[in-house]
Amino acid sequence: MDLQRAAANPLIRPQDVRPTRPDMDVIGVFNPAATRFGDETLLLLRVAEAVRDVPDRELAVPMVDCRGDEAVLRIERIRRDTPHLDLSDTRMIRLRDRLLLTSLSHLRLARSRDGVTFTIDETPALYPRDRAEEYGLEDPRITRIDETYFITYTAVSRWGIAVGLASTTDFVTYQRHGLIFGPENKDVVLFPARMGERFFALHRPAVIGLGELQIWLASSPDLYHWGRHTPLLSRRRGYWDALRIGAGDVPVRTDDGWLTLYHGVNAEHGYCLGAALLDVQHPSRLLARSAEPVMIPEAEYECRGFFDHVVFTCGSVLDDAGMLHIYYGAADACTCRASVPVADVLATLERPRRNFSAA
């Protein structure tokens, strides 16, 4: 497979992004949504900020207080000698009975004519403003349907990890539509077309007891309300997607079906990208998927960052020459691009070994 990382990678690094406040540092700019808008490529970047100048003896947790009319940044300070503090995951602070995030993410717009050189807005496009977003907005996807661009994003709060929806027609003003999937859910991707009278989405609920981490399909009459949930794509023991799995970019329509990239994790490689092919009329029918990853974290910037060994996509752009430009977060730190002919991806897919719909 002829996958080419952009020579200019990483395209966007934390130091390229202006923080929202002088007392905050941008520590990550990654997992961008991507779309074409007019003659530009737009990215909606996840910008993660941490509190600047924290004394060695403490941790500072940024969150947004959404109780009033205006969302206000609040910083909770925790002493490093607090009993039962667990910092083993760089993304989180575990206290005895609470889990907090070490950074607060918002969504920021970047524009490009050539797809690799981006101008980044100075201020957020979407910043937390609802109590279900108090710990941040993460991992957006943009799906164009007719003339409206729908943005799904992970909304994080003390109530859990859920999925919000916003929309825009101009990338200047945005409308919020509340949470379309309750907790615990993330990696929600809307298909860019109606099939029959229905819209479809991929989602990735979490399960505690019975059940498996799995990509599900749901459908909707209006994009705001979802039902008819069905399991679609499971993890596979012994494969690159053995441990975790979740949807990636917005599906692209090909002659063979809907092609979508998804992330898979195994112990050997970390977060990789692979592809699945779904029936054009009935996306609940899985036609084929990657036996081997399309992309493995290998570059230095993918292997060393905030969370190591990660390539994670939330959006791609297909050009007229059949080249799929994959925008992705590298190591939860910076934004990169890799390009691959769609035909190459399709050629490597394999039919599932068993008929999943009869599993």
Positions in the binding site for a copy of itself (CB under 8 A): 67, 92, 99, 101, 131-132, 135, 156-162, 177-185, 203, 205-212, 214, 216, 218-222, 224-231, 358-359
Q: How far is the CB of 234 from a copy of itself (least distance, A)?
A: 8
Shortest Å, Cβ 65 to a copy of itself? 10
Which residue do the tokens 């990382």 mark?
5
**Residue 140: closest CA among 219, 223, 258, 34:** 34
Q: Which CB sits closer to a copy of itself, 86 or 319?
A: 86
Shortest Å, Cβ 5 to a copy of itself: 32
CB of 314 to a copy of itself, least distance (A): 20
Would you say 41 or 167 has its CB closer to a copy of itself?
167
Residues 6+ apart with CB under 8 A from 210: none
Nearer to a copy of itself, 231 or 341 (CB): 231
Give me the least distance between CB of 359 and a copy of itself, in Å please.
Answer: 7
Query: What distance in Å separates the CA atoms of residue 47 and residue 30, rounded to the nearest whole number?
Result: 7
Name residues whose C-beta falls within 8 Å of residue 271's C-beta, 6 or more positions apart in sequence.
244, 263, 264, 265, 297, 309, 310, 311, 312
Give 89 or 298: the residue with its C-beta nearer to a copy of itself: 89
DSSP 158: T
In the bound state with a copy of itself, the residue whose beta carbon lies nearer, of 217 and 294, is 217
Q: How far apart are CA 10 and CA 297, in angstroms?
A: 13
192 preceded by cis ω (within 30°)?
no
Element spanning 288, H or E: strand 286-290
Nearer to a copy of itself, 205 or 251 (CB): 205
Q: Minimum distance between the CB of residue 52 and a copy of itself, rounded to whole angstroms?
A: 24
